[in-house]
Amino acid sequence: MPIPVLMPALSPTMEEGTLAKWLKKEGDTVSSGDVIAEIETDKATMEVEAIDEGTLGKILVPEGTENVKVNEPIAVILEDGESADDIDLSSLGGGAQAQPEPQPTAESKAAQGATEPMAAASAGTPAPGPVGGQSAPSGDGRIKASPLAKRLAKQEGIDLAAIKGTGPHGRIVKRDIENALKEGVGAPAASAPAAMPAAGIDERLYPADSYVAVKNDGMRKTIAKRLHQSFNQEVPHFPLNIDVELTNLLNARARINAASPPKGEEGFYKLSVNDFILKASAMALKAVPQANATYTDEAILLHKHADIGVAVAIEGGLITPIVWKAETKGLLQISAEVKDMAKRAREKKLKPEEYQGGTFSVSNLGMFGIKSFASIVNQPHGAIMSVGAAEERAVVRDGQIVIRTMMTVTLTCDHRVVDGATGAEFLQKFKLFCEDPAAMLL
Per the CB < 8 A criterion, the answer to whether 155 and 215 are in contact is: yes
Are 280 and 440 in contact, with CB atoms under 8 Å apart?
Answer: yes
Query: Under a CB-based contact definition with an 8 Å cutoff, are residues 53 and 32 in contact?
Result: yes
Whether 415 is a known active-site residue: answer yes
The catalytic residue among 237, 303, 305, 415 is 415
The amino acid present at 402, given as its one-letter code, is: V
Distant-in-sequence, close-in-space partners of 326: CB < 8 Å, separation ≥ 6:
278, 279, 281, 282, 305, 306, 307, 308, 334
CB 271 within 8 A of CB 253: yes
User: Sign of torsion, CA 17 20 25 29?
Assistant: negative
Burial class (CB in 10 A: 0-12, 13-18, 19+), 381: buried
Peptide bond into 2 cis (omega under 30): no
Long-range contacts at 166-169 (CB < 8 A, ≥ 24 apart) = 169/144
Which residues are tagged catalytic? Answer: 415
